[in-house]
Amino acid sequence: MTTIRIYIYLKLQAHSSTTPIHQGVPGSVWKLGRLNHIAIAVPNMEKATALYRDVLGATVSDMVPLPEHGVYTVFVELGNTKLELLHPLGEKSPIAGFLQKNKSGGMHHICIEVDNINSAIADLKAKNIRTLSAEPRTGAHGKPVMFLHPKDCDGVLVELEEA
């Protein structure tokens, strides 16, 4: 009986030390990675930035306009991930519409890294997951990103970013 327990323990140890934490979908050519950031829509960027920087002591980036996405962004460093503060830029900003419905702001989306965004998009579209644009765009980190439709992701707007 003891021999069997040791054997099972050794097999589990060998498996756990060689198996990656984030595996791809069986049979797929892409892998899901780490949480890159959580995005928060804010009605007042200066106030939100001051909260994280001055009150909570976080390191925050400069505010950067992203006209192609209709937002201003500020990134808050948290060590293991980031928060992305979003504020509307222009009249057609998707964040403006979000803030009309949520006056005090709130969580807008999550961003998860993938190792191959084009393969991920093709695979997800084949599985009837809708995307919010036809092709990936360049995101705030200068890398290709794609947003997945929240109705296909349990009500969560998911952004995929190539690692």
Question: Is 117 within 8 Å of 158 (Cβ atoms)?
Answer: no
Q: Which domains does the chain have, with CATH numbers?
A: 22-162 (3.10.180.10)
pLDDT tens-digit readout, 18-49? 334 445 556 678 999 999 999 999 999 999 99
pLDDT tens-digit readout, 70-98? 999 999 999 999 999 999 998 889 999 99
49: part of which helix (H) or strand (E)? helix 45-50
Q: Can you give the pLDDT at residue 83?
A: 98
The full DSSP string for 91-126 is TT-HHHHHHHHSTT-EEEEEEEEES-HHHHHHHHHH
pLDDT tens-digit readout, 114-147? 999 999 999 999 999 999 999 999 999 999 999 9
Q: Can you give the pLDDT at residue 27?
A: 63
